[in-house]
Amino acid sequence: MTESIQLYIAEAKQGKQAAFKALLNHYWNDIYRFQFSKTNDENKAEDITIQTFSRAFDKIDLYKDSYNFKTWLLSISKNLQIDELRKTKKELLTIDPIFNYTQDITDDAPSPEDQLIIEQNLSQLLAHIKLLKPHYQKVIHLRYFQELTYKEIAAELNEPINNVKVKLLRAKKLLAEIIQNSNSLN
């Protein structure tokens, strides 16, 4: 491992955002390629790659220098991909006892109670989002409400794609903390 990577890891353990950004920029393509080779889906690969860095940065204190950092990231990414696969299979598959094969079962229409809960949760979520700094609000709005790609968001904000990814990671983490703090108060 190069000295600069070791330095970035040490700085990331101290919470320095520039180090997180440098590590993300350095390893993004490796993790994304790995996920794309497993999922063959750009969106899933991108989402799991983001989750990988988010998990790694949250658990950076657990990283031991005796391991290769890229290998550590790849193992986190692999585990997240396996978890996603298990979750998807569990939700979509059921056994048909007559034909003894698996089939997908989906019911996309929410009940009136579900719709009310969704609307209440959306209202709560929007209130939580408004507690973020404006630049974090904007990146979340562009990604999840306007459903823009990272490339489109980068063009909209006139920023490099990796900055958008890091900003979105940070925004999601801050939003999760706000929600968690709100839930602990209730």
Distance, CA of 186 to CA of 183 (rounded, Å): 5
What fold is seen in the domain 3-93? Rna Polymerase Sigma Factor; Chain: A (1.10.1740)
For position 20, what pLDDT does the model report? Answer: 86
Q: Tokens representing 34?
A: 């790995």
Range list for CATH 1.10.10.10 in the chain: 107-185
Distance, CA of 181 to CA of 17 (rounded, Å): 22
pLDDT 10s digit of each residue in the chain, 186 long?
Answer: 578 888 998 998 888 888 888 898 899 999 989 998 988 888 888 888 888 888 888 888 888 888 888 888 988 988 888 888 887 776 665 544 444 454 555 555 656 655 666 666 777 778 888 988 898 899 988 988 888 888 999 999 998 887 788 888 888 888 888 888 877 776
Architecture in CATH of 107-185: Orthogonal Bundle (1.10)
3-state helix, strand, coil in the chain (%, to 5): 75, 5, 20
Range list for CATH 1.10.1740.10 in the chain: 3-93
Q: Residue 148 burial by CB count (10 A; 0-12/13-18/19+): exposed, middle or buried?
A: middle
